[in-house]
Amino acid sequence: MLSSVAKPSYGIVTGKDDVLMFDLDEKVDIEDELILPVIRAQGCDRYSDAFPSKKVVYPYEFQNSNTSLIELDNIKTKFPKMYKYIMENSVPLKERKDSRNLFGDRVGWYGLVRFGQLETFMKPKIVTPGEVKHNKFCIDNTKSGFTGARVFAITVEDETVDIRYLLALLNSKVVEFFMHHT
């Protein structure tokens, strides 16, 4: 079973891409520490290296083995450019909804709808577009996030399994046949 050696992961959903996501080469006046490169479906091709084409505002940190939203007061103190950006865009960020609830009603209204896990993003991983006719599994070594619902990831949790071996299996015709028929 794949689950005995690997772990599937869901990625990032901003809830407002036009405010929180940018082209990779676009200049953004936010501290680099709070910008995360993002792989989209177009950045995945069978047996290739995945590549990010976007970047996302990512006000999270890895703390006590968890990905945590940085408190707004800490952003204001440590990341003044990010704070300014958040405040300038507070109206559209607060108008986002998650399960029919407004983000403006939350303490962390400036966070992402789905933020993924930094631990997963930082690992080498297999990524694949969610909607394809043929298997398109590739490897990401760029420490990027990935868009939820469009790209999914698999991290190898068993150190005895080579990620390239798993990649070959997932891209095989046998696995493709199985996936199309189950």
Q: Strand 21-23 relative to strand 35-39: parallel, antiparallel, unpaired?
A: unpaired
Q: What are the residues facing 62 on neighbouring strands? A: 67
Look at residues 57, 52, 67 and name the one whose alpha carbon lies nearest to residue 144: 52
More confident position, 24 or 150: 24
pLDDT of residue 95: 93
pLDDT of residue 35: 97
Per-residue confidence at 1, pLDDT binned at 50, 70, 90? confident
What does the pLDDT average to over 152-177? 93
pLDDT of residue 97: 87
More confident position, 53 or 180: 53
pLDDT of residue 106: 86
More confident position, 107 or 55: 55
What is the pTM for the complete model shown?
A: 0.90
The single residue listed with the structure tokens 């789905």 is 114
pLDDT of residue 84: 98
- Residue 100 is encoded by which pair of tokens? 């029919």
Mean pLDDT of the chain: 92
| Phi–psi pair at 147, nearest 5 degrees | -75, 130
User: What is the C-alpha to C-alpha distance for residues 86 and 52, in angstroms, rounded to an integer?
Assistant: 23
- What is the tens place of the pLDDT at every residue in 122-142? 999 999 998 888 889 999 999
